[in-house]
């Protein structure tokens, strides 16, 4: 195991000192501190108490050179400015830090080719695994990089058929959107539009729920669009919808990045959100809460998603194959603005 790190103001504490304090052999100390091999509960207690009393901390660099592990995880995301993704990263980092791992975060800005480059960079840094939320599910460079990674891969909210060995943590987007659409129908709306994100699993599941809700209610779908998740896209899509001869009375936005642009487009046409138009957003952000009236939102536990992804990685490192985990979504109506404009719908 080598020497531990130098305590403040003192010399490094060696495992020999730990063994002497615990009254056991070096091999026993090594098994306890490395977590490899079996030891009795009494042996475990004595070694841990001795290490704690001496202030022993393992030399992680020396350990990594011997085990070829670096105790680092590569985290690949598409947009660090999105509060949703920041919360996911924060949740994962909390679990990984407690387990002794550091996170190396990369951001592609929504460009799949950058995702592929960053994955290669992280692998050259010899990360022990990858947690990925890439900009594209089908980019050949990204898929090739992940398929040949040679380390555990955990995908968040992405379907990666080209990487069958990847573990997955998914959101149940279907349930939240189904509830939101039914809620709008119950409020009297019949012209309900969906502005979805790019053609990936989240958008496909939201569209499936939107379509099924219309079928069950025997209401013809008003219309939907796929596209990038950005304020500019929100403004463009909502501006086009509101400029139609028969505009929607309610619009579901399939991503929080669309909300700012959607509100700006409505205001630019003299349409008051919460009076003339009902908006529903996906994923909680301050703008949705602070708007008056607050924006009804399809919610999910983003911190929990990150934690679930970290647990899946730790299970893979331990030689386990965790099953796919599907995290719940739910609809929070927040206010009565969903009823505005419904009478003419």
Closest CA to 51 of 25, 22, 31, 26: 22
Count helices and strands (H / E) in the chain.
13, 12
Residue 195 CA to residue 225 CA, distance in Å, equals: 5
Query: What is the pLDDT, as a whole number, of residue 130?
Result: 96
Whole-model pTM: value is 0.77
pLDDT tens for each residue of 55-69: 776 654 444 444 457
pLDDT tens for each residue of 316-328: 988 888 999 999 9
Quick check: 129 pLDDT over 50?
yes
pLDDT tens for each residue of 69-108: 788 999 999 888 888 899 999 999 999 998 889 999 998 8
The answer to whether residues 256 and 282 touch, using CB atoms and an 8 Å cutoff, is yes
Residue 177 CA to residue 96 CA, distance in Å, equals: 31
Query: What is the pLDDT, as a whole number, of residue 336?
Result: 53
Percentage above 70 pLDDT, the chain:
87
Query: What is the pLDDT, as a whole number, of residue 309?
Result: 96
- Can you tell me the mean pLDDT for 43-49? 83
Residue 311 CA to residue 334 CA, distance in Å, equals: 32
Q: How many CB atoms lie within 10 A of CB 267?
A: 11
Quick check: 2 pLDDT over 80?
no
Quick check: 311 pLDDT over 90?
yes
Mean of per-residue pLDDT scores for the chain: 87
9 pLDDT band (50/70/90 cuts)? very low
- Can you tell me the mean pLDDT for 162-188? 95
């Amino acid at each position: 195991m080598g020497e531990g790190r130098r305590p403040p103001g003192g010399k490094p504490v060696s495992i020999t000192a730990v063994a002497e304090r615990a009254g056991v052999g070096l091999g026993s100390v090594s098994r306890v501190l490395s977590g490899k091999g079996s030891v009795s509960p009494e042996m475990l207690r004595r070694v841990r108490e001795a290490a704690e009393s001496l202030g022993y901390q393992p030399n992680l660099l020396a350990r990594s050179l011997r085990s070829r592990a670096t105790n680092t995880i590569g985290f690949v995301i598409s947009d660090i400015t999105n509060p949703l993704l920041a919360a996911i990263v924060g949740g994962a980092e909390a679990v990984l830090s407690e387990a002794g791992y550091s996170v190396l975060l990369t951001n592609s800005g929504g460009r799949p080719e950058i995702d592929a480059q960053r994955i290669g960079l992280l692998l050259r840094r010899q990360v022990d695994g990858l947690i990925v939320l890439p900009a594209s599910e089908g980019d050949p460079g990204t898929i090739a990089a992940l398929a040949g990674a040679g380390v555990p891969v955990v995908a968040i909210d992405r379907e990666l058929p080209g990487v069958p060995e990847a573990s997955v943590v998914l959101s149940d987007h279907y349930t939240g959107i189904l509830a939101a659409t039914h809620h709008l129908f119950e409020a009297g709306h019949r012209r309900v539009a969906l502005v979805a994100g790019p053609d990936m699993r989240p958008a496909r599941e939201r569209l499936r729920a939107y379509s099924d809700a219309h079928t069950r209610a025997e209401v013809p779908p008003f219309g939907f669009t796929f596209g990038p998740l950005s304020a500019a896209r929100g403004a463009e899509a909502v501006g086009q919808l509101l400029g139609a001869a028969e505009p929607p009375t309610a619009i579901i936005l399939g991503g929080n990045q669309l909300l700012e642009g959607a509100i700006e487009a409505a205001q630019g046409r003299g349409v008051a959100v919460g009076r003339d138009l009902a908006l529903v957003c996906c994923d909680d952000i301050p703008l949705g809460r602070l708007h008056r009236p607050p924006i009804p939102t399809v919610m999910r536990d983003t911190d929990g998603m990150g934690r679930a992804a970290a647990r899946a990685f730790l299970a893979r490192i331990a030689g386990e194959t965790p099953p796919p985990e599907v995290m719940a979504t739910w609809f929070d109506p927040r206010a009565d603005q969903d009823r505005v404009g419904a009478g003419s719908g």
